[in-house]
Chains A and B, each alone.
Chain A
Amino acid sequence: MITAVKKAPVLRFSWRSPQWSGTLSVLAGIALWQLFYDGLARTVYFQAFAIEHFFVSPWQVAESFVELYQSGELVRNCYFSSLEFFYGFVLAVGVGVPFGLLMATRDKLNNFLDPWVSCIYATPLVALAPIMVVWFGLGIFPTSVIVFLGAVFPILLNTYTGIKSVRQNLIDVVRAFGGTRRQVFLKVMIPDATPAIITGMRLAVGRAVIGVVVGELFGAEAGLGSMVYLYSERFQPGPVFVGIVILVGFGILTFVALEKLQRWLSPWYAYQLQRQVQGMEME
């Protein structure tokens, strides 16, 4: 009889464990930052270079956060930015995945779309942000378009690569047992390409966040990007850093959430990666 023996997770506090040293490093960094700022505030340079207009201490960032939260400004800006992100990103998934699938399975379409896709992908699309305002006016729509443009190509190209690199032996097996084209597509190609598609989405998150920020530079009524821009024009770096911290946190959280989704949808994938790294070692 085979029994799976699972080791009980042992809680270890080791200086070497990555989580522990990571937390420590972040805390130490913040403390150093605070000390550096306090030290700097005592010197003559602080006045001479007007440092308070572009540099803050972590404590002041926390204070600005509370202020912005209490005035309701933060919630409103977050709401607008997340709407833009949501619309743009959902549209990018809705367009990128089907087009990637079509381009990977229809050679003719791929031949015709490929030059345009590679050309547009190589262009820094945030450069279109001012033009989007001319085209679509003010509000959240032009920014959503920029988010869409930034996010759609990584998703499309990764879907394409994912479908193109489906393992041929899996397709052969299903076909040998009488699988139809439809079954091959739904039962082999889609599941096997899922990890690549989600990797595309993870890449797209970063570009989408930059799209939100740059899109809001031009003609936005609210949003975290416009908040950052407004307060940097008023020489108040506190709220600027609040905006940056929220956007970075959002980017990292979405990244991690998509990684979890990847594990949940295709649990064999992590195992496969592990096998590739460790060779053919037995567990």
Chain B
Amino acid sequence: MSTVVNVYHAHEKKIDAVLSVILGLALWQMIDALLIHNPLVAVGPARIADAFVRLSARGEIARHVYATFVEFILGYAVGAAVGIALGVLMALNRTIKNIFSPWVTIAYNAPVVLLAPLFITALGVGIASKIVIVFISAVFPVLFNTYAGITTVDARLVEAVRAFGGTPRQIFLKVTVPSSIPMVMTGLRLSVGRAIVGAIVSEFFGSRAGIGYMISAASEAFRTAEAFVGVALLAIGGYVTFELLKYAERKIAPWYESKV
């Protein structure tokens, strides 16, 4: 008995987490099976898993995930590249910073997904309008964090390199770039969430495929379980991208302890 207790105390946090997930799923399933019988309202894990199997057998899931993935990856890649480039420019040049910073502040705080209907009018219900929305959602967190990363470089490090005869070019490449990488990675991670929201909401506004389309079409037809399959797919996608970027951050900048 005491060995069981010892094992429990050694891995208390992990065991509690597993227990919590199992208990939570069981409770959820019991509410579905015993308390609320309306399939519109209560969708237990069993019903969601059932809907998932049914949809993936028909190839629906692959189609929608593929559509959203393409929108996400294209908009996100361009957004990240442009964000980093503009962030570096703004951090290095005072005039550019003065001109753009109020607009960047506004755009960073604005709910840019509101522009989705306009872009759909302009570019059609196809993939182009979604890529633009994902791009606009993703670019500003990256820009902001790149700028902050470069401007908050530890002055002592710069001074040390300069004292030993480092050129501005060397200072930039050997000090500024490495020490701003963690902030840039934070920006990249933050914009994953925003980019996914951008893709989903622009699919709500008008589309023919994608996870957002799947969720809104399913709930309009009162197939709540299928809508939850979409939500679960988004949760998994967000989690996987987040963890991948965390892993990349540890590889690229191992000296930096991730805080978020």
Contacts and interface: CB of A to CB of B under 8 A. Distances in A.
B10 interface: no
Contact of A233 (B110, B117, B204, B230): B117
Given A127-B230, A130-B219, A232-B121, A251 B110 contact: yes
Interface stretch (A17-25, A39-47, A87-95, A176-184): A17-25
Interface residues of A, number: 54
A119 B219 contact: no
Instruction: Give the bracket for the number of chain B residues in contact with chain A.
Output: 35 or more
B172 interface: no
A185 interface: no
A163 to B, nearest CB: 16
Nearest to B17: A115
B16 A252 contact: no
Given A113-B20, A122-B242, A210-B113, A54 B122 contact: yes
Interface stretch (A60-68, A72-80, A237-245): A237-245
Contacts of B197: 124, 126, 210
B131 to A, nearest CB: 17
Contact of B19 (A112, A119, A213): A112
Nearest to B42: A135
Nearest to A19: B102
A108 interface: yes
Interface string A195-238: 00000000000100110011001100000010011001101010
B24 interface: yes
A101 interface: no
A5 interface: no
B20 A237 contact: no
Nearest to A212: B111
A86 interface: no
Contacts of B216: 130, 218
B103 A127 contact: no
B13 A213 contact: no
A135 B103 contact: no
A122 B114 contact: no
Given A126-B197, A127-B215, A248 B20 contact: no
Nearest to B228: A131
A255 interface: yes
Nearest to B223: A134
B12 A111 contact: yes
Contact of B41 (A22, A112, A119, A135): A135
Nearest to A217: B204
Interface in A107-134: 108, 111-116, 119-120, 122-124, 126-131, 133-134
A29 interface: yes
Given A213-B113, A251-B111, A133 B219 contact: yes
A210 B137 CA distance: 12
A25 B212 contact: no
Interface in B176-221: 193, 196-197, 200-201, 204-205, 211-212, 215-216, 218-220
Nearest to A26: B102
B61 to A, nearest CB: 15
B219 A134 contact: yes
Interface in B19-37: 19-21, 23-24
B54 to A, nearest CB: 18
B204 A214 contact: yes
A105 to B, nearest CB: 16
A122 B239 contact: yes
B102 A114 contact: no
Given A210-B113, A229-B117, A126 B17 contact: no
B101 interface: yes
B172 to A, nearest CB: 22
Interface in B134-167: none
Interface in A8-63: 16, 18, 21-23, 25-26, 29, 53-55
B99 interface: yes
A233 B116 CA distance: 12
Closest 8 CB pairs of A and B: A232-B117, A111-B16, A130-B219, A123-B235, A21-B98, A112-B20, A22-B102, A54-B121
Interface of A: 16, 18, 21-23, 25-26, 29, 53-55, 108, 111-116, 119-120, 122-124, 126-131, 133-135, 206, 209-210, 213-214, 217-218, 225, 228-229, 232-233, 235, 237, 240, 243-244, 247-248, 251-252, 255
8 contacts: A111-B16, A112-B23, A115-B20, A127-B234, A130-B218, A134-B227, A228-B114, A248-B111
